[in-house]
Structure 1
Amino acid sequence: MLNAAFKDYSLHPATAAFLARAHGLMIDGRSVAALAGRRRDVFDPASEEAFTTVAEASPEDVDLAVAAARRAFEGDWARVTPSQRGRMLNRMAELIETNGDELAELECLNSGKPLQFCRNVDIFGVADMFRYMAGWATKITGDTHNPSMPGEWHAYTLRQPVGVVGQILPWNFPMNMAAWKIAPALAAGCTIVLKPAEATPLTALRLAELALEAGIPAGVINVVTGKGSVIGDAITNHPGIDKVAFTGSTEVGQHIARNCVSSNLKKVSLELGGKSPVIVFPDADLDAAVAGIAGSIFFHAGQVCAAGSRLYVHEKIYDRVVEAVAAKAAGLKVGPGMLPDHDLGPVISRAQRESVMAYIEKGRAEGAEVLTGGRALGAKGHFVEPTVLAGTGPGMAVHDEEIFGPVLCAMRFGDEDLDAIAARANASPYGLSSSIWTRDLSVAHRLAKRIQSGIVNVNTHTSPDASLPYGGYKQSGWGRERGAEVLDLYTQIKAVAVKLA
């Protein structure tokens, strides 16, 4: 069965109880109604049915959230020691695991991602991010320095929290991206005004409730739900916010950067789009490569900024690899993520499905060959067949632009040198992720140095570990999330120089 009504799903009791509530904004530790009293529906992209509602904030609600975050930053939260912050973050990780079934179902219902992945991968990754950052809470330090100025000096640096941070989440990985932003901000000692994507607000609200249960003081995490163009602008233009972190499209990221500069010159980090190359050499483990290629582009219906959407295969193995990827795509089961044994769920909305289909049709018009897929599925739900296109190249929209759907562009290369291969991989305004498939580690390391992307994976396309920095070159963004490097986004350096004599 491709489609199912929301009422056909069997929900965990905790999930059903959460959905039955009237969800408000989370401001100063309380769920409150929006000042204007407005609410908005939340939809299941697999059935197109509204299954709960949330409050729709206004800029005035953002003012209240910022004020609460400022009070907490200068009050209760400032008195929490680093080791206490670490224990709270560890407690968050425990609560995420304890409530994992509920969180996984909320994420699946709201984003369309298959439930098996939400349960088996997302919950672990979200908990692991909180645990990893808990360890950093006590290790954020400055340095001592030895100045060359005349006289005797005691000089050192302090690394201090940047202040109140605005965090704006995407709809493709709402729970993961919340963890990537909340955990390091708390480890550093910041307070938060969080705006989930308007389509996927539920897990952010639930995480904010769990934070209170973990002992994190009221006002440290505030969540404002509502329309992106309204609430996003209110956050990025707000003079009471010291830093903004955004994950989403490059176009919106550019708009946010302009707001941050023109308001109070607040700090900004951006994790944006991608058009990631996948390069397969003849000596690769081809079974592993085919599985990795398919997983990198078809997982979550291709709605992944790091998706391996440009495939370059050596001509000696091109037919074998591309035929195998197309066969794997044709065998994937498409359907509601809440129902068992589905490999692909829907894309997030009707508009997104129409956008993906428009790219496929444009590809056909520009001469691409559809090896498999290429159709929208079902009378209800936003489903798109996993699609493999051949005969693509630079200048075609499907090759050059981020589609954000389950669409792979396959191309061949010959016995080119590594500089030429890298030039093809780098011929994009994006530079987020990439992968190299080869048994020759000399080739892998040499090519990795030449590829312009923030992440280069070898014999895999994903490396979702909390310790590894994540971010992009070029129009894929500014700054790095995850790893020790993320703390640079939420701290600032102060130099202290004391003249002793």
Structure 2
Amino acid sequence: KPAKFGVLLIRPLLEAFRDSFPPGVINVIYGRGRETVSALMASGKVDVFAFIGTHKAASDLKKLHPRPHRLRAALGLDAKNPGIVLPQVDLDNAVEEAVTGALSFNGQRCTALKILFVHEDVVEPFLDKFQRKLAALKPGMPWEPGVALTPLPEPGKVDYLDQLVADAKAKGAQVLNEGGGQSRGSFFYPALLYPVNHDMRVYHEEQFGPLVPVVPYRDLQTVIDYVLDSDYGQQLSLFGNDPATIGSLVDIFANQVGRINLNAQCQRGPDTYPFNGRKNSAEGTLSVHDALRVFSIRTLVATRFQEANKALISEIIRNRQSSFLTTDYIF
């Protein structure tokens, strides 16, 4: 089923399907997800459910399947990916990656950096550099050259972001950048929120938009606790150059998220890399290799090691009496 917005963008993919598969192998269903996908799941004829969306929607759809033990799922779900800036750090690189990671595609990527934890020793220069980078981003329409900030596609998104900003400001945060949080129609100018704390909604909720919450910290345990307690576990980014600290944090977070990025933003790909997550952020692993595994159930033909059985199998293979039991492999 195509995505909710930008349905026409699927046309080149449909043409590739048409040219690559016999008629009827690939089918595309148009319509609202709850009307179309819900009916398909309730039919019990879906064997593999590949889905990108919220964990709540995925759970509701899986519950509709009458034979859940026969359903396999490959799910990419919600994320609240933190960027963690340590006191010993290449600050220019951290800011460059944080701006791109938080605001490319208006922050509307599951792999975007959704919250930044910056050590108190470097938070002031970090915020200063971040604001200058942000001010240099060009707003406009997607088809205009050099544009980095564009209108948001879905109705109601600006209102939701306004609510998060109002909640944060009421609880002590400020919008640091000039024009931050201002909107016109469906365009929302990015807001750099500071200082953010655990009482604010944006500390917990995936904003999926151009809001950049920054949390100052002194004790690294604050950041560790955030990751451990989070319902989400897709990715995180570590910015720093102290080997002992980085090595220790990798060990701590290795069982909390699916991917740890060192001095780089969170991101998807390339497809040779597994795309996965923990907790409410994913089920299964997405990549070309893993997709083939998910969509396949391996079958084994076995026998006892006896001369009669050896002769039986040899004759089947020699006379090509089975297309499955064969020594011919096609790659």
TM-score if structure 2 supplies the norm length? 0.85
Deviation at 1:500, TM superposition (A): 3.6
CA distance in 2, matches of 1:233, 1:246: 13
Other-structure match for 1:266: 71
Query: Do residues 202 (structure 1) and 3 (structure 2) align?
Result: no
Match of 2:48, as an amino acid? K
DSSP-derived class of the 1:268 partner: strand
Deviation at 1:408, TM superposition (A): 1.1
Which of 377, 384, 400 is the matching residue for 2:204? Answer: 400
Classify 1:266/1:298 alpha carbon distance in 2 versus 1 (closer, same or farther; 3 Å). Answer: same
Which of 61, 74, 95 is the matching residue for 1:256? Answer: 61
Which of 193, 208, 220 is the matching residue for 1:389? Answer: 193
Classify 1:367/1:225 alpha carbon distance in 2 versus 1 (closer, same or farther; 3 Å). Answer: same
Match of 2:218, as an amino acid? G
CA distance in 1, matches of 2:237, 2:24: 41
Deviation at 1:433, TM superposition (A): 1.1
Query: Do residues 471 (structure 1) and 279 (structure 2) align?
Result: no
CA distance in 1, matches of 2:188, 2:48: 37
Q: How does 1:229-308 map to 2 (within 5 A)?
A: 229-260=34-65, 265-308=70-113
Other-structure match for 2:139: 334
DSSP-derived class of the 2:111 partner: coil
- Check whether the contact 2:44–2:66 (CA below 8 A) recurs between aligned residues: no
Deviation at 1:446, TM superposition (A): 2.4
- Check whether the contact 1:277–1:309 (CA below 8 A) recurs between aligned residues: yes
Classify 1:228/1:498 alpha carbon distance in 2 versus 1 (closer, same or farther; 3 Å). Answer: same
Deviation at 1:220, TM superposition (A): 2.2
Other-structure match for 2:286: 481
DSSP-derived class of the 1:294 partner: helix
Deviation at 1:329, TM superposition (A): 2.0
Consecutive unaligned residues of structure 2, counting only runs of 5 or more, are: 307-331
Classify 1:484/1:227 alpha carbon distance in 2 versus 1 (closer, same or farther; 3 Å). Answer: same
Match of 2:45, as an amino acid? G
CA distance in 2, matches of 1:400, 1:467: 31
CA distance in 1, matches of 2:6, 2:43: 23
Deviation at 1:400, TM superposition (A): 0.4
Match of 1:216, as an amino acid? F
Which of 411, 422, 426 is the matching residue for 2:224? Answer: 422
- Check whether the contact 1:208–1:222 (CA below 8 A) recurs between aligned residues: no
Other-structure match for 2:27: 222
DSSP-derived class of the 2:302 partner: strand
Q: Which moved more, 1:482-491 or 1:351-360?
A: 482-491
- Check whether the contact 2:81–2:266 (CA below 8 A) recurs between aligned residues: no
Classify 1:450/1:384 alpha carbon distance in 2 versus 1 (closer, same or farther; 3 Å). Answer: same
Q: How does 1:314-393 map to 2 (within 5 A)?
A: 314-372=119-177, 373-378=179-184, 380=185, 382-393=186-197
CA distance in 2, matches of 1:368, 1:262: 49
Deviation at 1:262, TM superposition (A): 5.8
- CA deviation string 1:439-469 (max 9, x = no partner): 2234323212212111110010134311111
Identity, % of aligned positions: 27
- Check whether the contact 1:238–1:263 (CA below 8 A) recurs between aligned residues: no
- Check whether the contact 1:335–1:383 (CA below 8 A) recurs between aligned residues: no
Classify 1:425/1:354 alpha carbon distance in 2 versus 1 (closer, same or farther; 3 Å). Answer: same
Other-structure match for 2:241: 439
Q: How does 1:83-122 map to 2 (within 5 A)?
A: none
Deviation at 1:216, TM superposition (A): 2.2
Which of 253, 257, 260 is the matching residue for 1:453? Answer: 257
Match of 1:201, as an amino acid? V
DSSP-derived class of the 1:497 partner: coil
Other-structure match for 1:84: none
- Check whether the contact 2:86–2:240 (CA below 8 A) recurs between aligned residues: yes
- CA deviation string 1:258-295 (max 9, x = no partner): 22366674212211011111111122211111010011
TM-score if structure 1 supplies the norm length? 0.57
CA distance in 1, matches of 2:157, 2:83: 24
- CA deviation string 1:134-189 (max 9, x = no partner): xxxxxxxxxxxxxxxxxxxxxxxxxxxxxxxxxxxxxxxxxxxxxxxxxxxxxxxx
Consecutive unaligned residues of structure 1, counting only runs of 5 or more, are: 1-194
CA distance in 2, matches of 1:277, 1:421: 9
CA distance in 1, matches of 2:81, 2:189: 20
Deviation at 1:421, TM superposition (A): 3.5
Deviation at 1:415, TM superposition (A): 4.9
CA distance in 1, matches of 2:280, 2:82: 15
DSSP-derived class of the 2:27 partner: strand
- CA deviation string 1:30-63 (max 9, x = no partner): xxxxxxxxxxxxxxxxxxxxxxxxxxxxxxxxxx
Classify 1:421/1:366 alpha carbon distance in 2 versus 1 (closer, same or farther; 3 Å). Answer: closer
Deviation at 1:300, TM superposition (A): 0.8
- Check whether the contact 2:236–2:259 (CA below 8 A) recurs between aligned residues: yes
CA distance in 1, matches of 2:43, 2:128: 52
DSSP-derived class of the 1:221 partner: coil
Aligned residue pair count: 302
CA distance in 2, matches of 1:262, 1:397: 38
Which of 410, 420, 423 is the matching residue for 2:214? Answer: 410
Classify 1:391/1:351 alpha carbon distance in 2 versus 1 (closer, same or farther; 3 Å). Answer: same
Classify 1:264/1:388 alpha carbon distance in 2 versus 1 (closer, same or farther; 3 Å). Answer: same
